[in-house]
Structures are given as structure tokens and as C-alpha cells.
Amino acid sequence: MSKSNLTRRGVLKTGAIGGAGLALPTMFASRANAYTNEPTGSTVTLGFNVPQTGPYADEGADELRAYELAVKHLNGEGDGGMINTFSSKALKGNGILGKKVEYVTGDTQTKSDAARASARSMIEKDGAVMITGGSSSGVAVAVQALCQEAGVIFMAGLTHSNDTTGKDKRANGFRHFFNSYMSGAALAPVLEANYGSDRKAYHLTADYNWGYTTEEAIRSSTEAMGWETVAAVKTPLTQTDFSSYIAPVLQSGADVLVLNHYGGNMVNSLTNAVQFGLREAQANGKNFEIVVPLYSRLMARGAGDAVKGIFGSTNWHWSLQDEASQTFVRSFGTEYGFPPSQAAHTCYVQALLYADAVERAGSFEPCAVVEALEGFEFDGLGNGPTLYRAEDHQCFKDVLVVRGKENPTSEFDLLEIVEITPVDQVTYPPDHPQFAGGALGSCNNGA
Amino acid sequence: MDAIILQILNGLDKGSAYALIALGLTLIFGTLGVVNFAHGALFMIGAFCAVLLSRILSMSYTTIDETRTDFLGNPMQVNVPYAYDFFGEAAGQTIIEWAVPLAILFAIPIMILIGVAMERGLIKHFYKRPHADQILVTFGLAIVLQEIIKYYFGANPIPTPAPPAFTGSFDFGALLGFDANQILYPYWRLVYFIFAAIIIGAVFAFLQFTTFGMVVRAGMADRETVGLLGINIDKRFTIMFGLAAAVAGLAGVMYGPIYSPNYHMGMDFLVLSFVVVVVGGMGSLPGAVAAGFLLGILESFASMREVINIIPGINQIIIYLVAIIILLARPRGLMGRKGVMED
């Protein structure tokens, strides 16, 4: 029979040592790998993934200018920009959580695989804790999925497809930019007021994801007010001359042409349509009209005089007179000598929103940032009162309906705001059919 | 019927561009035996000659208009073109508006110079190398040229409008007895087609009716024998390279009002132009022109809604489909000659 040496003190001592021993690896692990790229020094690195080459390089350059300005303002340099007008007062101009903001850039080339590669490099090699930017929905969806897997936050740049916050939404991804549904909902009443409810529309649609969702959105909004869709023809993304698609439009019985095109496609199809005399033509006893659902000032510049009098929608425009917009225009204009584009605006705002969410959360941890952004209501960033809806991570705010200006006073003064459509008119339920499928899932801290 | 006429007209202007680019490609291939993938870039540089001339003519000085303000609320800076001071406002404005046609004169020397420099500086070193090497080096050159253009002119398309006299469209239907507005065709596309026909005719006449052309044609047929006759065929071939560059450049200059020039436009046309050359028959100038128009018109027809409804996606593949059929039936292309590009 053996004698046990167990004493109360011995058990406590052994238990404490054993417990500490067991806890030690987890403690270290949680400190070292709490989440992907946890900033440990005096700086934090953000990754700006924008098209620096390829067809949207000019738009990408404007996005980068906006990010650089945002970094300046976050670090307390310059005039502070919209930090001064932002309703949240968490940002102090001392970096983010006291860490100086640094950044790395990647080139999306407006190709999904290149964009993923550059985002991956910024996350894995440069230690970026957040990725933001881009000028295409294909890129946004691809990079958003990558960021979800990697456990970093993705603040989308210019992406207008319903799918970004619809069937392809992700918990780690957030979109400030508006979407195809909102364009349709905002445009329809203006089109009805100007062109009536008895119209026959002919759609030319870029043959890719964004084109489909935009056509669907515009069709359902215009058909709901009585318009008939005569035909919808898909055009290859690589198409440069649209004459063979434009020429049959007048013979189809249509009296409105909707160009679901963006970028170079929009510039060329609109130019072709105007050259083929569609603006002067008459059909069904009415003036023939053209509609461009998504306008961009940079694209409008490419199309030149062809944009005059043509309706479209946009996320933001530098001619807005609210204090926040004017502050941003002054800040950007003083720095670069020309007014910012809508792409620049949305990117600047996304950078500020992320920084603010981190400050409010008190941590860079992605799930804490997601929690801070979900359901966040804010103002003072140029779009009026805005909600980051928790269910799909889409911003809900007023939408601008614009028209190509007849007498521009400068090369930037190409669009005039016709109507600011209130947010209520462009809000939809999270389970709306145009956004069906896919799930937000749960946030991923990575590591 | 009216839809068919409309698509034939559409195909003609697209075909004109294909034919002009393919003509230059065939000239280079026929004379120098080089597969020049930088030829699309020459088309693009031609278009940018129009952009450059337009910018030169629009060069201006700045005055301050105290009565207006800019986007920052400062007094508006107004640019006044020097052309207004030199020629008066009305005449100056007209000169600026006619930049594209004027660019023809501007582009010819520039394009010949670029063509000759390209041939003497780079391509001549690759004459004896395999075609794969030539393709790689000329493709690389094309990328370098388009990046240079992008650096100076940006990535966005730059509107290059036609002179006001040629904007708007011509009611072709009314001329043929159809209802008004049924067959509208932009004036500038008509101008482009006529211009292309003149250039093509001039190149053929030059080769057919001049001593220079005769020597070049002889050199194309049998370079060695022409050389043995004591004729410096290399010098003539260099000039032909310059000429081919000028043809591509002029095609680009006049295409500006149809398709706002951007740095990538050469690549957009290059692949199709190669298909045109192959379908027409390697080294055959009439073949290149005929195939250019044929494929341009077929592409237009394939874009018709009625056709797409029957065969979805046909608009994207028609050119390659027709190329396969023609090459299966006639392996040397429409007018290809025996012995060209064959071992």
C-alpha cells in the first residue's frame, strides 16, 4: 500500500503551475495571432488596390489621389478635409488608434486575377490590415472574397453591380457606392416626368455581370411605370464600334435607347448613337431619347459633346453645395488643381469610414470593425444622412440623377444635377429578388 | 431590306479600317517577310497624331475672367487659343474644328519617319530570325509604344470630333425610296469609306504604275534576282515600311471621330487585321482589301438582333468562324499565292 503525499498546498501549487503551463501557448498564440496583420508597431498599413494600368487607369489615379489625401488627413496633415464635417468625432488626426497611417498600393489592372494577386501580396508581404479600392464589380467581388478568406476588411471602391452586396456579399466587405437597383429606382421617376410613361425602350447591355444587373434594374423600374422593353441586346465587352448594334434601333419601333455600358463601352456606344442621328430622330411621334444609367465624369469627358442632355445617375458630384462636399472639393482641388471624381469621393469616404470604425471599436480586429460599421448611421461625408445596413453591408443614401450639361463652363463641368432622389425611394428589402442568393456569412478575423 | 442595306453600309466603314490596316501589314509581310505585330500601334499613333495636332492648334494662353469663378471660388481662368489671335476668332475656331482632316498632312511625314526609324532601328535586325522572334519583338514594341502614348495622353478615350460640316447623318433610305429615318448613315463614315477607297487605289496605282512600284513588286516575287540586277532592294523595302506605316497612320487619323482615340485601340484592331490578312491570303494585297470588307460586312450582319436570336454569341465568333471555313476550303486564303509562308 502506497502512501499518498497529497497536501492542499501541493495541489494548489501543482494546479497553478500546470494551469499556467497549459494556458501559456494559448496566451502567446492569442497575442501573436489575434487576427491577420495585427499592427504591433507605431504604424498601421492600409492597402490601396486600384487600377494603375489598363482602361480605367485614369479613374484609378483619381482613387489613389483621394486615398493619399485621406491618409494625410488621418495623420493630421493638411486641412483635415471631411474629418471636420463627419458626424462621428472619433477621428482626431493622430492616425488610427494613435498609429501613423502608412499605405501600399497594388494594381488591379481591372482584371480579377491580377487584382486578387495584388491584394494577396499586400496582405501577405506588406501586412495590410485593410484592402480598399477598385473600379469594377468583377474586381470588387473577387477581392472581397479573397479578403473574407484572409481575414481582413475590404472597403469596396467604385462597384455598381447589385451582386457586390447581393449574391456575392461577404461579412468582411463593405460598399459605400450605390448600385444598379438604386440607379433604376432613382432614374425612373425622372424619366417618366421628362419622357412620359408611354415609351418603348431598346437596351444595349455590356455582356458581363454589371451589365446584366443594370439592365435588370432599369427594365424593372421602367416597366413598372409603363414603359415597354422592345429588345435587349448583349454587346461584347471588347466591342469598340457599336454601329452595327445602334443602326437597327430606329427600325425596331423603340423610342428610347438605354445604354447599359460603362467606361470605354459607354464612350463608344454613346458617341456612335449620337453620330447615327438618334438624338435628332423621331420615333412613334416622339423625340428619340438616350439614357445612360451610370454616369462618370471621367467617361463623360471621353464622350465629349455626345453627353449633352442625356440623363443618368451618379453617386456624388463635385457641384453639390452641402458643406461636406464643398469641404472635400476645396481640399482635393487645392491639393491637385481640379475637382474630384465620384470614384475619388467614394474611396476617400471609405478610408475615413474604416478609420472611424476602428477608433470606435478600439481595435483593428476585423470582427470588431464589422460590428462598428454594421448599422452605423452617419452624416457629413457628402451624401447626406447615410446608413451602413447591417444585413448586406450596403450604404443607403440619396442618389443623384444627372444630365449632360448643354453649356459646360470647363472640362470638369460636364454634368448637372437634376434631382437628388431621397434615400427612401431607393431603399429595398435585403431579400429583394435582384439581390437574392448568397449569404453574408460571419466575419473572419483570419490568422 | 432596309436592315440589310444598313448593315452593308456599317460593314463598309469597319471593313475600310480593316482593309487599310491589313493592306499595310501585307505590304510589310510581302516585301520584308516580317510579321509586324506593332502595326496596330501605328494605327493608334496615327489617331494620336490627330489628337496632337488638335492640341497644338488649340494651344492657348490664360486670361482671368473676374466676372466668373472656378470650382474653388477663385476668379475663372479662361483659355484663349493663340489661333484666335493669329487668324481671328471665327477663322481660328474653324481651323481648330478641322484638326482631323488637317492632321492628314501632319501625320504623313511623322508616320513615314516612325516607320523608317522602326525598320532601321529594330526590325531589320530580325529579318533572318524565325517568325516567332519577329512576333515577340514587334509585340513588345507595340506594348512599349502604347505605354508611351498612355503616359503622355492618359488612359481615357480622347474625343476627336469631325468638322461640324460632317457631323450628323445622311438619310440614305430617302435616297433609295424608303421611309425617312430608316437608313441613317453618319456623314463622317461615308467620308471614311471614300478616303479609304482613295488610299487603297493610290497604293495600288503606286505599285502598278511607277518604276519604284515595279521594282518593289519584282522584289516581292524574287528578292534575290532583283538584288543580282544591282538594285538596292533593301532601301526600297525600307521606304515601303515607311509607306505601310503612313497607310496605317492615316487610317488611324481619320478613325478618330468614329472611335475616340485611346492607347489600346491598336490592339483592338490588330488581331482582327491579322485574321483579315490570313483570310485574304498572306502577301496578297487585293486579298487583304477584299477580306477586310468581307469580314467587316459579315461582322455587321452577325450583330443583328435577329441573327443573335437564332445563333446566340455569333457576333463574338463570326470572324473566326468564317476564317476557319475559308481556310479549310482554300488553305492559302482567298487570293493567297503558292510559296508564300510555305516551306
Q: What angle do CA B168, B172, B173 make, to 5 degrees?
A: 125
pLDDT at B285 (0 to 100): 86
**Helix axes B2-32 and B285-302, enclosed angle (nearest 10):** 150
In a mutational test of the A interface, the residue from B72, B96, B147, B308 whose CB has the highest number of chain A CBs within 10 Å is B72
**In this structure, what C-alpha cell is assigned to residue A191?**
424619366
- Answer yes or no: do B159 and A303 touch at CB < 8 A: yes
pLDDT at B215 (0 to 100): 87
In CATH, the number for domain A181-314 is: 3.40.50.2300
Chain A: residue whose CA lies nearest to B183: A247
Half-sphere exposure of B84 (CA within 13 A, CB side): 10
Task: Give the Cα separation of B17 and A363 in Å (integer).
Answer: 59
CB A100 within 8 A of CB A379: no
Q: What is the dihedral of CA B54, B57, B62, B65, to 10 degrees?
A: -80
pLDDT at B305 (0 to 100): 82
A130: DSSP letter: E
A411 touches chain B (CB under 8 A): no
Between chain A and chain B, the number of residue pairs with CB atoms below 8 A apart is: 130
pLDDT at A1 (0 to 100): 40
Task: Give the Cα separation of A122 and A197 in Å (integer).
Answer: 50
Nearest CA among A432, A40, A333 for reference residue B69: A333
pLDDT at A421 (0 to 100): 96
Residue type, A187: L
Task: Give the Cα separation of A119 and A140 in Å (integer).
Answer: 11
Residue B39 region by backbone torsions, left for phi larger than 0, else alpha for psi between -120 and 50, else beta: alpha
- Answer yes or no: do A267 and B157 touch at CB < 8 A: yes
pLDDT at B235 (0 to 100): 85
CB A87 within 8 A of CB A29: no
Residues 6+ apart with CB under 8 A from B340: B30, B281, B282, B283, B284, B332
SS3 of A206, please? strand
Residues 6+ apart with CB under 8 A from B216: B31, B207, B236, B237, B240
Helices (H), ranges, A156-238: 180-195, 209-224
CB A120 within 8 A of CB A37: no
- Answer yes or no: do A241 and B14 touch at CB < 8 A: yes
CA B177 to chain centroid: 33
A237 touches chain B (CB under 8 A): no
Adjacency order of strands within the sheet including A395-396: A376-378, A386-388, A395-396
Q: Which residues of chain A are within 8 Å of residue B305 when distances are taken between CB atoms?
A: 231, 233, 248, 252
In a mutational test of the A interface, the residue from B4, B68, B156 whose CB has the highest number of chain A CBs within 10 Å is B156
Q: Which residues of chain B are within 8 Å of residue A409 when distances are taken between CB atoms?
A: 68, 76
CA A259 to chain centroid: 21
- Answer yes or no: do A247 and B10 touch at CB < 8 A: yes
- Answer yes or no: do B71 and A410 touch at CB < 8 A: yes
A268 touches chain B (CB under 8 A): yes
**In this structure, what C-alpha cell is assigned to residue B173?**
433610305
- Answer yes or no: do A58 and B155 touch at CB < 8 A: yes
Residue type, A405: K
Nearest CA among B243, B265, B236 for reference residue B252: B265
Across the interface, of A234, A236, A241, the residue whose CB is closest to B259 is A241
A79 touches chain B (CB under 8 A): no
* CA torsion through residues A272, A273, A279, A282, sign: positive
Q: Which residues of chain A are within 8 Å of residue B72 when distances are taken between CB atoms?
A: 329-330, 333-334
As a 3-state breakdown, chain B gives helix, strand, coil percent values, each rounded to 5, of 70, 5, 25
Rounded to a whole number, what is the distance in Å from the CA of A406 to chain B's nearest CA?
17
The one-digit pLDDT tens for each residue of chain A (447 residues) are 444 455 556 555 655 555 544 444 443 344 456 899 999 999 999 999 999 877 788 899 999 999 999 999 999 999 999 999 999 999 999 999 999 999 999 999 889 999 999 999 999 999 999 999 999 999 999 999 999 999 999 999 999 999 999 999 999 999 999 999 999 999 999 999 999 999 999 999 998 889 999 999 999 999 999 999 999 999 988 788 898 899 889 888 999 999 999 988 888 899 889 888 898 888 999 999 999 999 988 788 888 888 999 999 999 999 999 999 999 999 999 999 999 999 999 999 999 999 999 999 999 999 999 999 999 999 999 999 999 999 999 999 999 999 999 988 888 889 999 999 999 999 999 999 999 888 999 999 997
Half-sphere exposure of A366 (CA within 13 A, CB side): 29
- Answer yes or no: do A333 and B169 touch at CB < 8 A: no
**In this structure, what C-alpha cell is assigned to residue A291?**
439614357
Residues 6+ apart with CB under 8 A from A206: A234, A235, A237, A260, A261, A262, A265
CB A302 within 8 A of CB B260: yes
Alpha-carbon Rg for chain B, nearest whole angstrom, is: 22
**In this structure, what C-alpha cell is assigned to residue A61?**
489615379
- Answer yes or no: do B70 and A318 touch at CB < 8 A: no
- What ipTM does this complex have? 0.79
pLDDT at B342 (0 to 100): 59
Rounded to a whole number, what is the distance in Å from the CA of A57 to chain B's nearest CA?
6
CATH superfamily name and code, A43-178+318-393? Response regulator (3.40.50.2300)
Instruction: List the domains of chain B with CATH numbers.
Output: 2-55+100-329 (1.10.3470)
pLDDT at A2 (0 to 100): 44
SS3 of A95, please? coil
The CATH 3.40.50.2300 portion of chain A extends over 43-178+318-393, 181-314
**In this structure, what C-alpha cell is assigned to residue B314?**
455569333
pLDDT at A282 (0 to 100): 87
Specify the length of chain B in residues.
343
pLDDT digits (tens, 9 = 90+) for B141-186: 999 999 999 889 988 788 898 999 998 888 877 887 777 777 888 8
Residues of chain B with pLDDT under 70: 1, 339-343
Across the interface, of A231, A251, A302, the residue whose CB is closest to B156 is A302
The DSSP result for B209-241, as a single string, is HSHHHHHHHHHHH-HHHHHHTT--HHHHHHHHH
A243 touches chain B (CB under 8 A): yes
